[in-house]
Amino acid sequence: MNWLLAKQIRGRLTAWYVGVLAAILATYLVVVFLFQYRIVASQIYHDEVQDVETVEGLLYFESNGKLQLQQNYFSRPQSHLLIDRLMEVRDLSGAVLYRTPNLGGVSLGGSTMPGEGDSSFNQRIVRMPDGSHVSLISHLHTLQGHVLLIRLGYSLVPFHQRMKQFLGILLLAFPVALILAGIAGYQIAKRAFVPLEEMARKAKQITASNLHDRLRIADANDELGHMGQAFNELLDRLEQAFQQLNSFTADAAHELRTPLAAIRAVGEVSLQQPATSERGKEAVVSMLEEASRLDETISGLLLLARAERAGAVGPNRFSLVDVVHEVAEVLEVLAEERRIRLVTSVRDEEHNAVVTGDRSLIRSAIMNVVHNAIKFSPVDSTVQITYSVSDTASRTIEVVVQDQGPGIPLAEVDAVFGRFYTGSSKNGHESQSTGLGLSIAKLVVERSGGEIRFDRHTQTGARCVIRLPAHHLRETS
């Protein structure tokens, strides 16, 4: 799945989007955390300064010289300003004059440091014997003629715990935000590429038979529209070149027929001349054979050019079973000459299914296949033509031509439909073949919306299967 996403552009875009977003979010989280840490630390400092100033107003010396802190300024114990504060007051000699009970007799900040608290509110972080850290403020204050060093500290344990919770929330939201952003980014990229997928699907449907089709462009001003326009312009050039090639083939074939007919006429006249020597007659006969072969090739090229111009749906609607019978009657003479039995088996004829297309082209396609089977069949063999109708959802007409010849090697099953392909015939018929019959049949059948193939699993001979779409079965039954 990951490999598939990496192969898709939208997958790579999503990965880049998530990666960039992760970098931005990580930077943002670090900045937010540091900013929040600095704000809270600054707030603690200000609170400590205010507490020191408050303490300065609450300290007093008793008559016996003992330093005390007024405890009657609050109304409730939970409102005590210094209930969770750590405080220690010393004189300039370092003697401790007052210490809050929550210190448990432990010194706050150690011995007095030189110049501590003499200028302003000195802040530092100290470590207590239990390992916890305290934010400590030191300040000198004069009370009743005595200079006092006031130390007031906040335990940083609650602060660190809250910052850890805040960091945990940020880290938990980080992957969730990435996953949601990745899903949203993938969907956005997928939606953005919908027009491209439609163009690709349409482009796959464009073949030589429908070169006139063009891609549908939703917006000609965006990048996909520019690409679609460029592809349509390419199709314009291809269609024009294709039409020129077909026209050239047809024109060249027409131009060749006239001199070829003249050559054949001259040759036939020469054969009838008694003065022609035997060697000359052999040369003329050979020339006429080649001329006949060239004529067949030209006929095939003309037929190909005509089939190329034909659309998938022709103007005629006709019964294919009639065409099969007609082909069998025409080729029966040739089969008898070669001592081959031509057997036609029609199934489901009562459906009277019809096909739509160019009747003469389809007739030529079937005739080429049957003629090819007769040509490669041995003497005293059978060529079976089977016609059947499939009354399923596909609604197809199937014509199967089965011979008892040498068959087709598996490596050549598809190649036999190539133009001018004569292959490696086992009966030595390749020299008599133009190599266009099966290619014409394939072109015509496919232009008619059908398919033609040789069965790869046939054990004896060759089995050619032609399928054409049936139309209006119920209307004509």
Over residues 122-179, the pLDDT tens digits come to 888 999 988 899 999 999 988 888 889 999 999 999 899 999 999 999 999 999 999 9
* Span 319-324, average pLDDT: 88
Q: What is the pLDDT of residue 97?
A: 92
Say which DSSP state 460 is in: S
When mean pLDDT is compared across 142-156, 307-321, 431-445, the lowest value belongs to 307-321
Q: What is the pLDDT of residue 27?
A: 94
Q: Does residue 430 surpass a pLDDT of 60?
A: no
Cα(292)–Cα(288) distance, rounded to whole angstroms?
6
Question: Within 10 A of 232 (CB to CB), how many other CB atoms are there?
Answer: 15
For residue 194 the two structure tokens come to: 């919908």
Ranges 73-87, 280-294, 374-388, most confident = 374-388
Record the pTM.
0.52
Q: What is the pLDDT of residue 476?
A: 43
Q: Does residue 26 surpass a pLDDT of 90?
A: yes
Alpha helices in 219-350 (DSSP H): 223-272, 278-309, 320-337
pLDDT tens, position by position, 174-221: 999 999 998 998 888 888 888 888 888 888 888 777 778 888 887 888
* Span 243-251, average pLDDT: 77
Under the banding of pLDDT at 50, 70 and 90, the label for residue 266 is confident
**How does DSSP assign 405-437, residue by residue?**
SS---GGGTTGGGSTT-----SSS-GGG--S-H
Q: Does residue 49 surpass a pLDDT of 80?
A: yes
* Span 211-233, average pLDDT: 85
Q: Does residue 281 surpass a pLDDT of 80?
A: no
Q: What is the mean pLDDT of the chain?
A: 83
